[in-house]
Amino acid sequence: MSSSWTLPLNSSLQGGVTLVQIREKNADTGEFLKIAQDSKAICRKYNVPILINDRIDIALAVGADGVHIGQTDMPVEIARKLLPPHAIIGMTCNTVEHVKNAVKDGVDYVGLGPVWSTQTKKVAHPVLGVRGIGKLLEALEGSDVKAVAIAGIKSTNVLHCLHGAVSPSGRPLDGVAVVSDIVASTDPLNAAKRLSTKIKAFNSAPSPPVFSLSLSSYTYTADALKKNVGEFLCAIKKFAPLVHQITNNVVTTQSANATLALGASPIMATAPEEMEDLSEAAGALLVNFGTIQNIDGMLASGFHYNQNRKPVVFDPVGVGATQYRRTSAAALLNAWQPTVIKGNAAELGALANSDEVKAKGVDSVGQGFSDPAAFVRNLARKERAIVVLTGVKDYVSDGTIVVRLSNGHPYLGEITGSGCMVGTAVATFCAGASMGAASQRNDDAPEDGRLVRGDMLAAAIGGVLAVTIASEFAATRPDVKGSGTFLPAFIDELGALTPEKLASRANIEIL
């Protein structure tokens, strides 16, 4: 904190900061004491607690509300003896063992991270990413210890952090610690206000998953899902959304034709430099992992689509085949939040670190999951996304309910790219759902804390049904003699789908 800190601190408190930590690594004791005294006086005007980093002597001298200590600082037991009875003690934790020890030592909160890399301080521990924070939160379950995420957090990624950093059972963060996004801003008041608005909106939104437009009391039925799917198909044909696809080069043509058949417009673009503009123009993004080229484009695309609150569909084709694919998938999922994750048993099993299903290239081998419904529900909770498990029967879950779909024809398994076209159809239906929702709302409405607007569970179901039902119609045509004649007929039937056709054929079970 520099000598010109008074105005920025005052502005950030006006903008909504709810706790201040004074951290001075390079100041001498006299200078640190003066900064702490003046900071406390400003914080008291706003009734905001103030903590001192590391220096218990400074905290005692100014009557601060507590301290924040690191793993190599004074032990909690001694700090507790020195400080007043109700003083707050927080501790930085980088591992599960750190968290367990902090809980045992009786801290009031833990700072978990680093979530992302940061220029504020030298990071001594590996970056955890939002998914890694969930493991640390799991160690807090059963305790009253609060948790905040630390390192690299800003207004452009705070929703991803809050949404994605949860324990397997759903234990969320209690807050986030922010430095550079406010302190280094030329407008700290509005920088703090942007963060505060997003955090408050997220906390007031329906309980996660937050991908449904419906109220939390909404009850899904097979008929209601059929109705929603039909409405989304109509929205696709009405708005003709642009569907951005970073997909493998084996299926680019089939995927583009499937998008056009459904009534949307495809664009296949991979350059990182295009992603910001495309995220504003397109209705949804598909990132298909089949041939990993230009990982920078994949990283940039999801980030910008998250910023514009557009649906992101992740299809981790063959993710379990190589270590490079596994590490690349982890990098993507830590960089941005997918709306839907779609894959076969081997692919989703690899993401979940399950050994029930083995991979053979892009295919699954073995008997499959012993309880696929439980698997997709648990993975959806873990990844905070809609999960689509494709197979002879398809399973879709938002982490709460599981829907089993029993449509399709064996010819789908005999053509290249049928699974990839499911990803394309899901992204197209997500675009339709999102644009349909947008047409019914006031775009000037305040931030509502959702990463995506629209019923994404029903949209994912719609994408699967479109492909599987079109395959049934195509396979029974007299001009179809096998897989070679099936593919063009299948594209024809995708284009001929109507809400009535979908509703009449859809085999939906809510488990």
Instruction: Report how far residue 348's alpha carbon sits from residue 316's, in angstroms, rounded to the nearest whole number.
Output: 8
Question: What six digits make up the tokens of 469?
Answer: 């039902």
Question: What six digits make up the tokens of 296?
Answer: 């920078």
pLDDT reported for residue 509: 96
pLDDT reported for residue 117: 77
Helix axes 222-239, 418-439, angle to 10 degrees: 80
Phi and psi (nearest 5°) for 485?
Answer: -90, -15
Do the bridges between strand 242-246 and strand 146-149 make them parallel or antiparallel, or are there none, so unpaired?
unpaired
Judge whether 420 counts as a catalytic residue: yes
pLDDT reported for residue 450: 73
Instruction: Report how far residue 98's alpha carbon sits from residue 211's, in angstroms, rounded to the nearest whole number.
Output: 33
Answer whether 192's CB lies under 8 Å from 182's CB: yes
pLDDT reported for residue 208: 45
pLDDT reported for residue 38: 93
Domain locations in the chain as residue ranges? 6-204, 222-465
Catalytic pick among 43, 93, 161, 420: 420
Which neighbouring-strand residues pair with 89?
A: 67
Closest by CA position to 223, among listed 492, 511, 509: 509
pLDDT reported for residue 259: 97
Please give the single-letter amino acid code of residue 6.
T
Sign of CA dihedral 362, 368, 372, 374: negative
pLDDT reported for residue 212: 43
- Per-10-residue mean pLDDT of the chain, 511 residues long, equals 68 95 86 93 96 95 96 92 95 95 96 81 74 92 94 91 86 93 92 92 63 51 94 96 93 95 96 96 93 88 93 94 90 92 94 73 62 93 92 93 96 92 97 81 58 89 98 96 95 97 97 91
For 6-204, give the CATH class: alpha beta
Which neighbouring-strand residues pair with 113?
A: none
pLDDT reported for residue 123: 54
CA distances (Å), origin 260, targets 236, 254, 421, 500: 10, 10, 12, 20
- Judged by DSSP in three states, 388 sits in strand
Sign of CA dihedral 258, 263, 268, 271: negative
pLDDT reported for residue 404: 97
Do the bridges between strand 402-405 and strand 508-510 make them parallel or antiparallel, or are there none, so unpaired?
antiparallel
pLDDT reported for residue 205: 67
pLDDT reported for residue 441: 58
Does 6-204 match 222-465 in CATH topology?
A: no
Do the bridges between strand 394-397 and strand 402-405 make them parallel or antiparallel, or are there none, so unpaired?
antiparallel
DSSP string, 474-485: HHTSTT--SHHH
DSSP string, 46-113: TT--EEEES-HHHHHHHT-SEEEE-TTSS-HHHHHHHS-TT-EEEEEE-SHHHHHHHHHHT-SEEEE-
pTM for the structure as a whole: 0.87
pLDDT reported for residue 436: 78
- State the SS3 of 313-354: EEECCCCCCCHHHHHHHHHHHHHCCCCEEEECHHHHHHHCCC
pLDDT reported for residue 292: 81
According to CATH, the topology of domain 222-465 is UDP-N-acetylmuramoyl-L-alanine:D-glutamate ligase (3.40.1190)
- Judged by DSSP in three states, 287 sits in strand
